[in-house]
Structure 1
Amino acid sequence: MFKTVKKRWRAGVVAVAALSLGMGALVYTQGASAATFPTATGTTKLTATKAVSGSFDGGLKRFVGSGALGTSGQDEGQDPLFTLADGATLKNVIIGSPAADGVHCLGSCTISNVWWENVGEDAATFKGGANAKYTVTGGAANGADDKVFQHNGGGALTVSNFAVSDFGKLYRSCGNCKTQFKRNVVLKNITATAPGSVLAGINSNLGDTATLSGITITGDSKKKIAVCVTFKGNKTGAEPAKLTTQTAATGGDGTNCKFSTSNITYK
């Protein structure tokens, strides 16, 4: 059944780096309490997925999907607004609502200074092979009822200088894809603003690793956001079993979840 999900805009998203936008600089200071998303220079409505090979610079325009692509909700199988070919770069883009299934990387890719105002199904999905390398740098995501970054293919993802607020999981290694891989994620210089559930969800039985550093968590006085959660991944499509939950208080296990208590700061 179709489920309508109402999401909230949180103006308090905190960006975590000084970002040069090419049209002047907008500076966001790590730990600031009232940073906002950049102002869009215009709006473009996409009626079909935009394929990117090489590099696409959106000039900080807002891109929104049509009903044909999907919605702002969690329906499975929605189309992305952008597909990135192997080696492609997407930069200086604001993704508005409806965002459908965001961005799909079909191989190695770079996502630079991309802002999701209200995440739809997922913000970005990584679908490359075992040796793919994906990079997300700068930008932010708001209002992800489930996942921000979904890792369905193989390879390694690095996310740096990124902010997230009002989210389920910042990163999830696919727990029940028909083809499974050992996956690696690095999360560094991240600001996460509550409410939120998990920073990194990985499949320890498949050898996944999550390495976290420079993590700032704001608005989470009861420390409900889990830093790293391990699951037992499978190929059957069944819901994966949760194995462990690792927090700022416990630190990581050093094998699959790699972080120390000093890597997590609460504000």
Structure 2
Amino acid sequence: MGGWPTVAGVKAVTASIEVSGTYDGGLKRFYGSGVLGSADQDENQGPIFELADGAVLKNVVLGAPAADGVHCLGSCTLQNVWWEDVGEDAATFKGKSASATYLVSGGGARNADDKVFQFNGAGTLTVQNFQVADFGKLARSCGNCKTQYERHIVVKNVRATGPGKALVGINANYGDTATISGVTVIGDSSRKITICERFQGNSSGAEPPSLGSGPDGTHCRYSSSDITYR
């Protein structure tokens, strides 16, 4: 994984760009303006991009403010997408089918106060060949959504640079799994970044309690050899 891309232009976005099929941003920087330009942590902000089921978004740089980033309404692919300054969340996955698949391949994100990838829907999220720096959680199964699902997260070949709180958070009580391999953690000599944390999720909106962290062979699937510290 190399460095961050050189931006090839700038585009202000005042209303969510709806994508079906494939959208190639040509490595332009897209940022929120008007109602999408508040730069706060409001959960109800619109996204810069809204992807229909099966859509592909590629070669995009999201600048600041990035509003609520990218929303996937069903299966989607985010290829070589970069978030310079994560707003509320970088991307939110909302598909309702257990067979839905969300692929994040390449790209990177930094400056995420909270979550990079918010997994509210059902199915499987794969994050591969990705880099993240200065983050809360890389990927989190929604802990208290009104409608809950069984969710599966795969993280492979990811470089995480501290500070950070956790790589993956899942809900053990809903049968979630996290399969993790090829992760390199940089700048975390005291090993404060949690690799995989299990929660007791709920649909009431309450803050979900932690059930523990680390590999357990059932929900958090990895071994110490899957994590390299530098």
TM range (shorter): over 0.9
- TM-score, reference length from structure 1: 0.85
Q: Is the 8 A contact 1:43 1:62 kept in 2?
A: yes
Matched with 2:87 is 120
Q: Which moved more, 1:97-106 or 1:237-246?
A: 237-246
Tell me how far apart the structure 1 counterparts of residues 84 and 76 of structure 2 sit (CA, whole Å).
21
Matched with 1:23 is none
One-letter code aligned to 1:106: L
Residue-by-residue CA offset, 1:112-151 (whole Å, 9 max, x unaligned): 0000000000000000012210000000000000000000
Q: SS state of the match for residue 196, structure 1?
A: strand
Paired residues, what number?
A: 229
Going by fraction, where is strand more abundant, 1 or 2? 2
Deviating runs (4+, > 3 A) in structure 1? none
Pairwise CA distance, 1:67: 3.4
Q: Runs of 5+ in structure 1 lacking a partner? A: 1-15, 17-27, 29-34, 247-251
Tell me how far apart the structure 2 counterparts of residues 235 and 245 of structure 1 sit (CA, whole Å).
22
Tell me how far apart the structure 1 counterparts of residues 100 and 37 of structure 2 sit (CA, whole Å).
27
Q: Runs of 5+ in structure 2 lacking a partner? A: none
1:77-116 to 2 correspondence within 5 Å?
Answer: 77-116=44-83
The percent of aligned pairs where both chains have the same amino acid is 63
Which residue, out of 137, 143, 157, partners 1:189? 157
Pairwise CA distance, 1:71: 2.9
Pairwise CA distance, 1:193: 0.1
Matched with 1:46 is 13
Matched with 2:120 is 152
1:211-222 to 2 correspondence within 5 Å?
Answer: 211-222=179-190
- TM-score, reference length from structure 2: 0.98
Which residue, out of 135, 142, 149, partners 2:110? 142
Residue-by-residue CA offset, 1:130-189 (whole Å, 9 max, x unaligned): 221000000000000000000000000011000000000000000011110000000000
Q: SS state of the match for residue 167, structure 2?
A: strand
Which residue, out of 46, 53, 71, partners 2:38? 71
Tell me how far apart the structure 2 counterparts of residues 117 and 218 of structure 1 sit (CA, whole Å).
19
Q: SS state of the match for residue 68, structure 1?
A: helix
Tell me how far apart the structure 1 counterparts of residues 197 and 120 of structure 2 sit (CA, whole Å).
17
Matched with 2:229 is 266
